[in-house]
Structure 1
Amino acid sequence: MPGTPSLDRADAALYATLVLVWGTSWIAIRHQLGEVSPVVSLLWRFALSAAICFAIAAWRGETLVHPARRHLWFALAGVTMFSTNFLLFYLAGRHVPTGLLAVVFALASPINLGLAALFFKKPVEGRVLLGAAIGVTGVALLYAPEILGTGFDLAALGGLGLAVLGTFSFCLGNMASSVIQRDDVPDIAATAWGMGYGALWLLTLSLTSGAAFAFDWRAPYVLSLVWLALGSSVAAFIAYLALIKRIGPARAGFATVLFPVVALGISSVFEDYHWGPLAMLGVALVAVGNVVVLGLAGRKAATGA
């Protein structure tokens, strides 16, 4: 059976954009947690992101009118990938170290692999599973001091469960996006509708939970909100959905293993993170996992092995 092709230049550019932008999102999210309820902060974020995507799609002349059946998939992607997963991680962050959250989210690649096999009958690629396992182990080592240095009680266990559900929700959204892409819906139009439905779902949750529709006008909140909307939502998700279309959800999902390295690099500059032996080993394992998932099969295919 021939190997999966390695990334071409366009794939690599999309992948690098995704990793770098999502790698900066963690420090921005810190400024969103405070006076404004998490569900309301997410509502502002995805309402702004949806408006931007609709404007770009209209400017590009992409079709925004779609049949009702397709809107069901847009709504499913919105509820799972553009709202609920983020809310679950925000809530989990109240009880679980951010390092452990990063490790849990790094499981998206193998979960995507399993869901693709379940729903679309795609064969399980052992190479991708192996690479993801190596990468997740590397991320765990990167955050080992933070994880081991925190006591684990029932509240933390509940937070861990929320993080697992958040990752699973994200992966379900990936599957919905794969269905949408089978109909050749333009990426930006699909993202716009998904984010629009996500914002409506967040509005519903805000109303039913009685959350106050507050806004923090201080610069850190406003600037982080703009970056999360423009960068981590619009640019990153357009790149991510394009990658799913080009290389499949399992390989695209490996970005969730790589971007914590970028996040820690930023943390070393702004938060005095120190790189110990475990962290250096973790980076090496993430690099090896990255090569296994994205590179080795391409060389096999090229050589006819």
Structure 2
Amino acid sequence: MNLSLYLLTVLIWGTTWIALKLQLGEVAIAASIAYRFALASLVLFAILLLSGRLQKLDKRGQLICLAQGLCLFCINFMCFYTARQWIPSGLVAVIFSTATLWNAINARLFFKQQIAANVLAGGAMGLAGLALLFWPELAGHEASHETLLGIGLALLGTLCFSAGNMLSSLQQKAGLKPLTTNAWGMLYGAWMLVAICLVSGTPFGFEWNSRYIGSLLYLAIPGSVIGLLLVMLGNVLVFRKPKAIPMAVAREA
């Protein structure tokens, strides 16, 4: 079951890079991300309301969703998009591959989950593989102030991603389903991005063409709604095992 979820998530999130490239243009990145998660949250809320599965959240649940939105759907994305301006994509991939290890460490610290040896070994092998794969790109990139800033932002984005995973697992342990928490988290994340645009003076634009609208729909529905749900479902299955920890199986664009 976990393998099927993993493969499907990799397929969906792997193809979001194509849609992301089609998004680049006149619309500011922060605005495009805000549109994406606003649309994704509306789709999730519509599904939940029509199916009668929208759960009620108390104040604690809403606050955790707010924090989840900040980590998973706001800071995380802004950090990685900004980091790519200064460091190569290969280095970004290598840094994000440490998310599995951060998940293991955080699960140990906050949930007292034992860290399985195969998880550490797998994470180390994956990190080494990515480093070797992108070594030519990494070796040819000179260190500079911008490089260090990009690395710091990529690491911060990875830590936020892991923190979001922990918050989601906390919600699920309280009996809340990923669909409900993701809907609220995406909505909060979208509003935070709107606030960032307003404060920074970033203009809100939109491209009324098939390229931009089609890629936006793909990123919002398969890329966000379906992909993130698969990840959260996989984490639920893993958490039910006494010695397991949540895993970051992929990274969507």
TM-score (structure 1 length as normaliser): 0.77
**Residue 212 of structure 1: CA displacement?**
0.3
2:89 is aligned, of 98, 105, 109, to: 98
Structure 2 residue runs of 5 or longer lacking an equivalent are: none
Aligned counterparts of 2:78 and 2:174: Cα–Cα separation in 1: 29
1:252 is the counterpart of 2:243: no
Describe how 1:61-72 pairs up with structure 2 within 5 A. 61-72=52-63
Describe how 1:79-228 pairs up with structure 2 within 5 A. 79-228=70-219
Kept in 1: contact 2:55–2:176 (CA 8 A): no
Provide closer, same or farther for how the CA distance between residues 140 and 28 of structure 1 changes in structure 2, counting only shifts above 3 A: farther
Provide closer, same or farther for how the CA distance between residues 168 and 149 of structure 1 changes in structure 2, counting only shifts above 3 A: same
Deviation per residue, 1:105-134 (Å, 9 max, x gap)? 111100000011111111222220111000
Provide closer, same or farther for how the CA distance between residues 151 and 28 of structure 1 changes in structure 2, counting only shifts above 3 A: farther
**Residue 174 of structure 1: CA displacement?**
0.5
- Report the equivalent of 2:15: 24
SS of structure 2 residue aligned to 1:31: helix
Which ranges of 4 or more aligned residues in structure 1 deviate by more than 6 Å? none
**Residue 250 of structure 1: CA displacement?**
4.3
Kept in 1: contact 2:54–2:180 (CA 8 A): yes
**Residue 25 of structure 1: CA displacement?**
2.0
Kept in 2: contact 1:128–1:251 (CA 8 A): no
Aligned counterparts of 1:154 and 1:44: Cα–Cα separation in 2: 32
Structure 1 residue runs of 5 or longer lacking an equivalent are: 1-9, 264-305
**Residue 80 of structure 1: CA displacement?**
0.2
Aligned counterparts of 1:250 and 1:184: Cα–Cα separation in 2: 18
> Structure 1: which amino acid aligns with 2:175?
D
Aligned counterparts of 2:218 and 2:92: Cα–Cα separation in 1: 21
Kept in 1: contact 2:9–2:231 (CA 8 A): yes
Larger Rg: 1
> Structure 2: which amino acid aligns with 1:204?
A
Question: How many pairs were matched up?
Answer: 249
- Report the equivalent of 1:40: 31
- Report the equivalent of 1:233: 224
Aligned counterparts of 1:124 and 1:192: Cα–Cα separation in 2: 30
Percent identical pairs in the alignment equals 38
TM-score (structure 2 length as normaliser): 0.92
**Residue 67 of structure 1: CA displacement?**
0.8
Kept in 2: contact 1:110–1:250 (CA 8 A): no
Provide closer, same or farther for how the CA distance between residues 84 and 103 of structure 1 changes in structure 2, counting only shifts above 3 A: same
Aligned counterparts of 1:140 and 1:118: Cα–Cα separation in 2: 27
Aligned counterparts of 2:173 and 2:184: Cα–Cα separation in 1: 16
Aligned counterparts of 1:223 and 1:213: Cα–Cα separation in 2: 18
SS of structure 1 residue aligned to 2:176: coil
Kept in 1: contact 2:69–2:189 (CA 8 A): yes
Aligned counterparts of 1:172 and 1:251: Cα–Cα separation in 2: 11
RMSD value, Cα? 1.9
**Residue 179 of structure 1: CA displacement?**
0.7
2:234 is aligned, of 225, 239, 243, to: 243
Kept in 1: contact 2:36–2:219 (CA 8 A): yes
